[in-house]
Structure 1
Amino acid sequence: MDYINAHCAICGAGYHVCQSCLETRQFKPWRTVTDTVRHYKIYSILHDYEIRSTDRQAARDALADCDLSDLNTYLPEIQAGIEEILHS
């Protein structure tokens, strides 16, 4: 099925998560949070920084390894979080 039943925590794009896959070993849990693995990496960095399990410099270094070329398409609060890390 191709209907939208989830929205990416990074960009807000709607996507489909197969509910029957939730019960199988092949299910990729990142699909419940983001639409791509790339966005999940960014989500993880921001989450770790927010809960203070990583400091600003470590988050900045991790974000340096991410493709942020589409930053302007991210949700406003995600853009703000990334800007805080990169420019503070």
Structure 2
Amino acid sequence: MEKINLYRKLDRWSGIKFDHVKVIKKSNIDIKNEGGDLYACDISETRAQLFICHLSSDTNPDDVVAMYNNWVKEYSKKIKPHRNLPESKK
């Protein structure tokens, strides 16, 4: 997934502050043949998880997590000023 596509996905859930990514492996599959799923996560009280993509078994999960963590941090810095704006009065 390209960075812009991740940003679009995060934009759809703008009410949640995703702050890191992690790989989650399903326990009901043979983990030797599956790389797991990559999720953007929120450590607030919502503990939201947003699916990003499936990882193939030949993918280095540490490299992918590092890249996506950088992108999520960049995204958070870009939108932070906009989130603190008060809502307009109706």
TM-score by length of 1: 0.26
Which structure has more helix as a fraction of its residues? Answer: 1
Question: Which of these two proteins has the greater Rg computed from alpha carbons?
Answer: 2
TM-score by length of 2: 0.26
